[in-house]
Chain A
């Protein structure tokens, strides 16, 4: 049995969505997350069983609105989307076809669906005509930390004259040409994941990977209406960051190697699906793999409350955020930083500079507050 399968236990691996991968790249130094994700562990279920359920819920209103907007954009077999693309690119695009790649019949495995996507993309890349083709829900995959991960297919790939664009549909509004910057940034990071996955696929098929445009098409509702509007977003920077971080990301193999053979994150579900694994046991299993908590985890990782608690127990300065850590010159624990500040701990050479600043800060604080 594969090592990662054993870590996960008998449950089927969880597919990754681009959001998770974008977030994974945001905290590339966290071994815990890398291992759990590579093994396809259901982190949410693990966090819940540990007594630290993730704080992420999606409101039914947001889901309904998102679905309704997506349906609106894809209306009429892609006709509306094509109209938007025509306007955006200023091209008289005839529509050659709209293919929903999720339509494979039955409930085939991710592997089969991926092969289906591969075949169709290959064909599109070979005999690209002047007409546009829309591929909805392409099932792409990406190599993450040495393992292939399938991506949740929630984008449209658009092919014209042998060039591909990733189209991302989001339901946040663009008001007078402006949207919330962090939402646009998140959308760009996610789209970059698909751009990378699609160009990798083209390369595997022997085509030129640069046929995937680094400009993605972002479709959002405009102003306060439900009317969609499309914009081109250049994701070159996000792509570069993603590439670099995926490459730099500690190879999971190297992290998994020294772990005890018997280690597993299996929840020990009974026949009714209820997790039966003793919590203490699961806790020590999770703690076998080192984490690197940062407050950003609170927005991106299901295990955030668990890891935060762990950081708090350890008195880690990570708890206070990267900016504070930077100000503290990387001093790792609260106790050490405070001891340097009140002079009860003599600094080593590396810490002399920050210790001097902290002592001065301590003196000033006492003097003026």
Chain B
């Protein structure tokens, strides 16, 4: 939250319509995303009730568990979900490209990757839980399940874990993607309701965003986007339908449950595709494609692991794996923030208001200034930038600039609306600056204390060298017999 987004919310209230928080799209959007809307039986951790899924807006597939407390029916549901998800995921593994790397072996990467879109963050959590409850199952022995079930479980676990990675969109919540680009005239808490968020962004003709959002809160008009269902619906419609099925299982009773949940899912299905259209209409920012490359690499690597017969992901990470993951995520977060700011002046404006970036006019430049003597003489051009921004940077801060991506500069001094900078990287070799590398007097420039540079990972011990203070080396995961037989009641 910055003053800028706070102001955007105020403006949204005044205009009766959501205001843009971005001038470009900061997430990759697949040409063929899969929308997945899961519903859970109230009161249960991960008992699926139904799901609507598919890649074609006109042909959603409806999956239903007519008696969610019945274990066999649950596994039938997950096998059916696997029928929808796995062909989509596997189909995208076929086309690959060769990626050349300097100083390393080239490798193969899938040219495209799956993208699962769920309505809200609770949907992401549910995907994780569903992955957890299915990945240890087995196709033989007691409690055997369809062979596709544990495979689905591993994929859902992969998607769920990847979703925590900043900037990744292999699995994403529609409300998160929309909130990244629009500010509404309501609170963040209310923005978690997809219908009301879309009410602000794209109200029906003749209606204000505020009233569209209010209307969206009526569960009779806009059923909740899941995984939780409306308690009123549960009491009045769902409970009797499930009871009828319980008393006389059969196609008619199952169809009645299906009709009931369909009524709850269809409105959200339409909203999801509206969200996709709205996002698609935004011009993509440059960083989104780069991050999608990272997603494609992760997807390719996981598909290979699975093909090699890797065991299911462990229940918990060992200490070293967890620390390494955390460090990776922190770096990804920094890169994600920087890329968005470099791609988008509106995002950069937020950093300018916070004093971490500034825009101004160059009032003095010494492009060929050098430091040091003899062989140690280095090119260190100086710049003085006049700015009206509230700069809050200390001497020595390392800056980057969107107009010259490879360039780095250090703050020398900030005083009286003028910032003095010393360019330390990306201005040319030798002792003369490359023409155009150093901004000239009169040029408008923007510098920010943000970096999208790759930073080498922190040195961590190998997993087998985990210090005892962190639990010692983790036991290698050995699939336990009872993992596959775990209750799911």
Tell me the A residues contacting B by CB distance below 8 Å.
Answer: 55, 57-66, 171-173, 175-177, 180, 221, 223-227, 295-296, 298-299, 312, 315, 317, 319-321, 323-324, 326-328, 334, 337-338, 341, 356-358, 360-362, 364-365, 367-369
For the complex, give the distance between the alpha carbons of A215 and B138 in Å.
40
CB pair B489 A224 closer than 8 Å: yes
B38 within 8 A of A: no
Task: Name the A residues within 8 Å of B7 (CB-CB).
Answer: 337, 341, 358, 361-362, 365
Contacts of B13 in A (CB 8 A): 315, 319-320, 334
Stretch touching chain A among B25-33, B93-101, B288-296, B344-352? B344-352
Once the chains bind, are B345 and A368 in contact (CB under 8 Å)? yes
- In whole angstroms, what is the CA distance A134 to B100 when docked? 69
Q: In the bound complex, how far is the Cα of B231 from the Cα of A239, in angstroms? A: 32
Q: Shortest CB–CB separation between residue A323 and chain B, in angstroms?
A: 5
Known: A171-B43, A365-B349. A317 touches B10 (CB 8 A): yes
Q: Is the CB of A64 within 8 A of B14?
A: no
Residue of B nearest to A357 (CB): B3
- Given A224-B133, A324-B6, A341-B7 in contact, is the A61-B349 Cβ separation under 8 Å? no
| Interchain Cβ contacts within 8 Å, total number | 153
For the complex, give the distance between the alpha carbons of A321 and B13 in Å: 13
Query: What residues of chain A lie closer than 8 Å to B132, measured between beta carbons?
Result: 175-176
Name the residue of chain A whose CB is nearest to the CB of B487: A225
Among B180-188, B274-282, B434-442, the stretch that binds chain A is: B180-188
User: 1/0 contact trace for B330-356 toward A, CB 8 Å?
Assistant: 000000000000000110110011000
Q: Which residue of A lies closest to B190 (CB)?
A: A295
Q: Is B80 an interface residue (CB 8 A)?
A: no
- In addition to A320-B185, A321-B187, A323-B6, 12 A-B residue pairs with Cβ atoms within 8 Å of each other are A59-B235, A60-B234, A224-B487, A295-B186, A319-B185, A320-B13, A324-B187, A326-B1, A361-B353, A365-B8, A365-B349, A368-B349
A residues near B125, Cβ cutoff 8 Å: 180
CA distance A221 to B46 in the complex (A): 12
Other-chain contact of B316, A176, A223, A296 (Cβ < 8 Å): A176
Tell me if A320 and B42 are in contact (CB < 8 A). no
Instruction: Point out the residues of chain B lying under 8 angstroms from A64, CB to CB.
Output: 43
Which residues of chain A are near B8, meaning CB under 8 Å? 365
- Bound together, the chains give a CA A338 to CA B14 distance in angstroms of 9
Separation of A176 and B46 alpha carbons in the complex (Å): 14
Complex CA distance for A358 and B390, rounded to whole angstroms: 12
CA distance in complex: A295, B190 (Å)? 8
Q: A176 CB to closest chain B CB, in angstroms?
A: 4
Contact of A320 among B4, B6, B349, B352 (CB under 8 A): B6
Q: How far is the CB of A369 from chain B (nearest CB, A)?
A: 5
Report if A357-B353 is in contact (Cβ < 8 Å); known contacts: A64-B43, A364-B4.
yes
Q: Is the CB of B346 within 8 A of A369?
A: yes
Does the CB pair B187–A295 fall under 8 Å?
yes
Chain A hits for B188, CB < 8 A: 295, 321, 323
A59 touches B189 (CB 8 A): no
A327–B1 touching, CB < 8 Å: yes
Shortest distance between the CB of B66 and any CB in chain A (Å)? 14
Contact status B10-A338, CB under 8 Å = yes
B364 to chain A, nearest CB (A): 24
B316/A175 in contact, CB under 8 A? no
- Chain B residue at minimum C-beta to C-beta distance from A321: B187
Judge whether A361 and B4 touch: CB under 8 Å.
yes
- A66–B43 contact, CB under 8 A? yes
CA of A175 to CA of B488 in the docked complex: distance in angstroms? Answer: 12
Which residues from chain A contact B266 at a C-beta distance below 8 Å?
A: none
Contacts of A59 in B (CB 8 A): 42-43, 229, 231, 234-235
Specify the chain A residue showing the minimal Cβ separation from B134.
Answer: A224
A58-B348 Cα distance, complex, nearest whole Å: 44
Most chain-B CB neighbours within 10 Å: which of A224, A337, A358?
A: A224
Q: Which of B3, B10, B129, B210 has most chain A Cβ within 10 Å?
A: B10
Ranked nearest first, the 3 interchain pairs of A and B with the lowest CB-CB distance are A225-B487, A62-B43, A57-B231
Give A165 Cβ to nearest chain B Cβ, in Å.
Answer: 25
Return chain A residues, CB-CB under 8 Å to B5. 327
Point out the residues of chain B lying under 8 angstroms from A55, CB to CB. 217
Chain B: which residue is nearest A177 at the CB level?
B316
